[in-house]
Each structure stands twice: as C-alpha cells, then as structure tokens.
C-alpha cells in the first residue's frame, strides 16, 4: 500500500515553502472585498431582490468607497494619477475599519482574573495562601510573565507553558510542549479551544505567533503586534506541539497511526488537567489545519469512544484546509480547474496549457467536478484510474508547481499570489532571521522550553517512523464525529493550492453522515457574510456540518483571513446562531 504521506510531501513542502505565505498583503483584503461586493451589488435591481444582508454590506461599502472617492477626486481635478501617499492613506483607513469592524470581541490586552491553585502553575506567591510557604521555595514550572517576553514591547498577559508527559508512568520519557492562554476580558471562562498545526510535524507555536494567538509576528512585520482577532478573545486557548518529535516536544517518535497520536494527546491532556485542575469540566473544541485534518477527527473520535478518560466536554471540531481524503482527490483532480480559475496568476503560455489539458484528459481529471460532484450525490464518487494514488504520468499537481516556480520564484502553494522578493520571517524562512525567535535562549527560558533543543517550524524527523497507516478520516471516523458533535466546521481558503477547495467538496460529497450522503443542496455563491465586511466567500450547512470557502484565504486561514476565521469560530462555539 503506498504511503499516505506520498512521500512526506507535506513535510518537505512545509519546511521548504511554508513561510512564503507570510506577507503584508493582507492590507489589500478590505479594499478588494469591499470593491468586489460593490461590483456584485450593481447586478441587483432596486427591489426586494436586494437581501437585507447585502443592504448592510452595501452601506458599509459605500462608507469605505467614500474614502477612495475623496482621494480619486483630488487626483482627478489635477488630471493626474493617485500618488503612493494617497493610496497608502486609503489602505490605512481600510485596514483600520477591517481591524475593528470584523469581530464583536475584537479587543486584546489583558485577561480575566484566572489563577490556579497548583503551585506548579501559579506565578504569584499571593495567589493562594494555602501554598504560600511552598511557593517561596518553588519556582513556578509553567507561569509565563507577559510583561517580560523578549522583543515584545507590550504586556500580553499571563500565560502558562512548558513540557508535560503523555502518561503518568514514572518511566515516561515522551513529553509534549504546550502554551496556554486564559481568555481575554470578554472571553468565556467556560470553554477551552485546543489548537494544533499540521505537517505532520509542524509546530503549533507557529499557529500561536502567526495565526490566532494574542500577539502576532507574521511575515514582513518589523515587530510583534497585538492580534485584535485572537481566539483568546473567545475563550482560553491551548496550543500543543504534537505528535512527539514536533517542536520542543521530547522523546523518540513512535506513532504508527492516528489512533496512537490521539492516545498521546489524550494522555497529555490528562496530565495537563492534573496541573491546571480548574479547567476540568470545561467545554472543549478541537481545532487545527492542514495535516491536522487527520489529527483532529481521530482525536475527537478517541475522546467520544472513551468518554471517561478526559474530564472535558467535547462540543465540536474545526478543521481548515484539511488533508482528510486521498491526495489524488485533494491535489490531482482539482489542479487543472484551479489553474484555469487563476490563469492570470499562473501566467502559463498556451503551449503549456495545452500540455496540461492533455494530461488532465488522459488521467480522467477533466470534467470530474461537473460529472460527479452533484447535489445531492448520485452515488459514491469514483477515483480516477480506480486507485487511491495517481497513475504514472498523472502527477499534474507537481507539474504545475514546478513550472509555476520557473515563472515566479516566490510562487506560494499556500497563498498563490505572492511574488518576489520574499519578506523576512521571524520563524526563519529562508535564512532571513538568525536566530529564529523560538531559538533565542531568553525566549526558551521565558516559556520554560528546553534550552538545548533546536526549534524548527516543521521538523525534519518523521513523526511517523513507518508512515501513517490510518485511512483518511473522511472514509472512517469523521462521519461519526459529526453525528456526536454539537457543530462541526470545515473551512477552506480559496487561495490555497496545496489543498484545494474543490478537493474538499469532493470529499464531503462522498461522505455519509446523519443518514445521507453529502450535501443535498448546492453551495450558493456569496453566501458567507462577514459582519462589517460583506460577502466573503461561500457557506453551506446541513445535518451538523457547516462548510465555508473563504475569499482571499490561504492555507493558514486564521493568518490570512482573521476576521472571517474569528466569526466562524464564534459560530462553532455557539456564540452566534447563524453561520
């Protein structure tokens, strides 16, 4: 049976290409979204066909366009083009609106009064008089002073970080590294979000620092900033580096499959709750991206199948841009259609496009979406060539990728519009920052990480020594997880090339849950409405599963589309009634 990692493609691409997406071009997002929304609205007549949510979006659009109109008017009077300064003023105004208008709890700084009685966790000798005498002589093992994080010039609030074993065995050598933040001032004290990055073997600290944590240091940023759309504004969040072999985690990797990974995570969580016992009984939400599309469903299934192991109440899961079906489904079948949708970005000549068309036709990729992806499905969806792998000569994805790099050396599989030159990255791609932030000794000491461990965003060690033998969760446990959860969300960024949205649609339409196969009704265009922004992609919800496709979102969705991601997480957690 061929390796499901094929062969470790996500590891290789993750370590070589991953940071290409980290740019400052997000500042363009509000303008593009607003202008697109305005253009769409011109197709409506002045009657009841103009839905209420579009009227609200339209009014917001008009306010923003007024800013651009003023700038354009200045240029028009003098018969000249807009200057760089005028453009930047418009971008700044758009960014301000975007930062403040997209989340109900979009304020950061400070946390709720959150203390732990265990002296290993507490960082304040006055926090609990019960342990005062002991704590005078005991350095807190996990407390992180938010005022003293190296190179961060603001207080991120108290947090807790360090290593914990995956079992209570006295001889246990395997430990996972975690970083826990309590909720912000408006966040819930009753909920806990668990986040993991993918890979396999990519660190969740990258997710904390560049996606959904309380402070952000993304590509192109000169220094860290407050993340206005941190998920800590919703509840407590726990970032865990797993499986064993990832990031600062310790021990020899020995996982053979996703059940082993799930057992590691649940064992770690048991030890975590013994130290942070005040978190017992909280509502739990599992979330992750990319290869975590395999991790998260299997972890959730393990918890549901073993309800007495963990003193938490699992409510639902989030997976974005997930690997949860076969590679041929999620990479090969959709690749040609993706190239055609984004022809101006790939900029291939007609000779090469003809070559790709012939390859797609020969390999039975051509017309697959139109023929098989119907609502409702007409039956099980076939695999091209009746194989879980692509046939010889049918690796169209790699062919496209190799040629895209010839035209654009900075082509980014995680967000396709990136161009040369690459902005610097504090996490180290490619040799743009030395040392990497998490390899600074004072950073390691501040977060109780092992000083002698070299941190790498995506490990070169195979966290599955003999590959991952589990079947994709879309074919196994995911249906059961959806049925047992209050809500499940699958989210996909439309600018992602490593895992394309059409591949996710195929996987969903081939999956049966709650008595029916796939979605019964089609996914409507412009059906995902982000508060204060307008139409931001598509959304569809049936029988406990809600699927989102996010405009301008790439593979690392909370980084590239933070406002949309925040709203989706609000829905998963029941903080809003509508998707």
Rounded to the nearest 10 degrees, the angle between the axes of helix 52-77 and helix 84-101 is 160
Question: Would 354 be classed as within a structural domain?
Answer: yes
Provide long-range contacts, Cβ within 8 A and 24+ apart, for 8-13. 8/462, 9/327, 10/198, 10/199, 10/200, 10/290, 10/291, 10/323, 10/498, 11/199, 11/200, 11/201, 11/458, 11/459, 11/460, 11/462, 13/413, 13/498
Q: What is the pTM of this model?
A: 0.83
Q: What pLDDT is attached to residue 80? A: 74
Q: What pLDDT is attached to residue 126? A: 42
Question: Would 344 be classed as within a structural domain?
Answer: yes
* Phi, psi (rounded to 5 degrees) for 143: -65, 135
Residue 492 three-state SS: strand
Q: What pLDDT is attached to residue 112? A: 72
b (16+ CB within 10 A) / e for 363-382: bbbbebbeebbeeebeeebe
Catalytic residues: 290, 496, 555
Question: Would 427 be classed as within a structural domain?
Answer: yes
Cα gap 158→178, rounded to integer Å: 14
Question: Would 345 be classed as within a structural domain?
Answer: yes
Question: Would 169 be classed as within a structural domain?
Answer: no
Question: Would 298 be classed as within a structural domain?
Answer: no
Question: Would 218 be classed as within a structural domain?
Answer: no
Q: Which domain holds residue 386?
A: 328-446
pLDDT, averaged in runs of 10, over the chain (579 residues):
37 34 34 33 32 43 53 54 69 67 49 76 48 39 94 95 97 98 94 98 97 93 93 98 98 98 98 96 98 99 98 98 98 98 97 98 97 98 90 96 95 91 78 79 97 94 96 98 99 98 99 98 97 96 98 96 98 96
Question: Would 228 be classed as within a structural domain?
Answer: no
**Structural domain count of the chain:** 1
Provide the Cα torsion 176, 448, 461, 16; round to 10°: 120
Helix/strand/coil (H/E/C) assignment for every residue in 330-389: HHHHHHHHHHHHCHHHHCCCHHHHHHHHHHHHHCCCCCHHHHHCCCCCCCCCCCHHHCCC
Q: What pLDDT is attached to residue 106? A: 42
For residue 563 the two structure tokens come to 């406002």
For residue 464 the two structure tokens come to 């599955």
- Which residue shows structure tokens 């461990």? 453
Rounded to the nearest 10 degrees, the angle between the axes of helix 258-275 and helix 292-305 is 70
């Amino acid at each position: 049976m061929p390796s499901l990692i094929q062969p470790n493609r996500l590891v290789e691409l993750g370590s070589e290409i991953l940071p290409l997406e980290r740019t400052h071009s997000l500042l363009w997002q509000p303008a593009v979204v607003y202008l697109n929304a305005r253009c769409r609205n011109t197709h409506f007549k002045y009657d009841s066909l103009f839905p209420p949510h579009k009227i609200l979006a339209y009014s917001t659009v008009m306010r923003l366009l007024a800013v651009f109109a003023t700038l354009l008017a200045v240029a028009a009077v003098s018969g000249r083009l807009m200057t760089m300064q005028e453009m930047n003023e418009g971008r700044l105004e758009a960014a301000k609106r975007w930062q403040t208008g997209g989340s109900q709890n979009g304020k950061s700084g400070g946390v709720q009064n959150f203390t732990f009685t265990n002296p290993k966790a507490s960082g304040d000798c006055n926090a609990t008089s019960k342990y005062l005498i002991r704590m005078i002589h005991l350095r807190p093992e996990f407390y992180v002073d938010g005022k003293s994080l190296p190179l961060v010039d603001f207080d991120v609030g108290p947090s807790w970080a360090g290593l914990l074993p995956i079992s209570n065995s006295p001889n246990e050598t395997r430990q996972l590294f975690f970083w826990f933040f309590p909720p912000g001032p408006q966040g819930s004290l009753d909920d806990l979000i668990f986040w993991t990055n993918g890979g396999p073997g990519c660190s969740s600290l990258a997710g904390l620092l560049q996606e959904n944590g309380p402070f952000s240091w993304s590509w192109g940023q000169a220094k860290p900033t407050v993340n206005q759309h941190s998920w800590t504004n919703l509840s407590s969040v726990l970032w865990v580096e797993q499986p064993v072999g990832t990031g600062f985690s310790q021990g020899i990797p020995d996982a053979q499959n996703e059940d082993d990974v799930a057992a590691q995570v649940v064992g770690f969580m048991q030890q975590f709750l013994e130290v942070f016992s005040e978190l017992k009984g909280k509502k739990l939400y599992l979330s992750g991206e990319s290869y975590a599309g395999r991790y998260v469903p299997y972890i959730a299934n393990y918890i549901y199948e073993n309800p007495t192991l963990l003193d938490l109440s699992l409510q639902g899961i989030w997976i974005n841009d997930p690997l949860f079906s076969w590679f041929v489904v999620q990479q090969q079948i959709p690749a040609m259609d993706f190239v055609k949708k984004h022809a101006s970005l790939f900029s291939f000549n007609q000779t090469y496009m003809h070559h790709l068309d012939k390859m797609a036709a020969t390999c039975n990729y051509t017309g697959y979406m139109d023929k098989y992806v119907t609502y409702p499905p007409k039956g099980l969806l076939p695999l091209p060539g009746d194989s879980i792998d692509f046939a010889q000569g049918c690796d169209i994805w790699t062919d496209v990728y190799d040629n895209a790099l010839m035209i654009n050396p900075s082509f980014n599989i995680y967000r396709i519009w990136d161009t040369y030159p690459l902005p610097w990255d504090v996490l180290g791609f490619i040799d743009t920052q030395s040392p990497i932030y998490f390899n600074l000794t004072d950073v390691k000491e501040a977060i109780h990480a092992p000083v002698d461990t070299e941190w790498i965003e995506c490990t070169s060690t195979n966290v599955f020594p003999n590959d991952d033998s589990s079947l994709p969760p879309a074919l196994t446990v995911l249906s059961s997880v959806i049925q047992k959860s209050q809500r499940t969300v699958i989210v996909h960024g439309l600018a992602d090339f490593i895992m394309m949205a059409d591949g996710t649609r195929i996987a969903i339409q081939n999956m049966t849950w709650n008595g029916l196969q796939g979605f019964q009704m089609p996914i409507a265009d412009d059906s995902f409405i982000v508060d204060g922004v307008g139409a931001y992609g598509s959304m569809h919800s049936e029988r406990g599963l809600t699927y989102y496709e996010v405009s301008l979102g790439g593979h690392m969705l909370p980084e590239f589309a933070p406002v949309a991601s925040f709203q989706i997480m609000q829905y998963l957690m029941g903080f809003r009634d509508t998707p």
